[in-house]
Amino acid sequence: MARPVSEHPTDLELEILKILWSTSPLTVREVRDQLETSAGRPLTHSSVITILNIMYRKGYVKREKAGKSFQFSPAQEKQTVTGSIMGDLLTRVFDGSSSDLVLNLLETAELDSDELAELRKLITRKAKELKE
């Protein structure tokens, strides 16, 4: 029995999207080279083609014919994908409580003073936006 299609990218699909968000369009070979560098493990050309074609069918990537091969680029903005994943996490794990999510992050992540200062700025900015 086939596994149901995930509403979010798999780990490998997300790795590919991160590559394409930073640099695109890329050929299969270029995606594979960057994946092998980041993953530290060999991947076959056909495996990368297969996953990119699956991502194309799911609507995560666009492809354009360039000579004999395709060039791939993201079909969705990073903020759209990450927002969907965060929304799912917020609902399923934290019962919709943003403060519980942030508290968990503060308690479990190893944040340095610069990151905490940046978070304070972001929270202050968001609070000002809500007052307007």
Tokens matching residue 39: 């993953």
Q: What are the boundaries of each domain within the chain?
A: 11-74, 80-131
Model pLDDT, residue 48: 92
- Number of Cβ within 10 Å of residue 61's Cβ equals 26
CA 47 from centre of chain? 20
Q: If you write DSSP's letter for every residue of 49-83 in order, what string do you get? A: HHHHHHHHHHTSEEEEEETTEEEEEESS-HHHHHH
CATH number of this structure's domain 11-74, picked from the four choices 3.40.50.970, 3.90.1150.150, 3.40.50.720, 1.10.10.10: 1.10.10.10
What's the CA gap between 24 and 18, in Å, rounded?
10
Model pLDDT, residue 69: 87
Per residue of the chain (132 residues), give pLDDT as tens: 555 566 789 888 999 999 999 998 999 999 999 998 877 778 888 999 999 999 999 999 999 998 888 999 999 999 999 999 999 899 999 999 988 998 898 889 888 999 989 989 999 999 998 887
Instruction: Map residue 4 onto helix, strand or coil.
Output: coil
What's the CA gap between 90 and 127, in Å, rounded?
20
Report residue 37: phi and psi, to 5°.
-65, -45
Model pLDDT, residue 66: 86
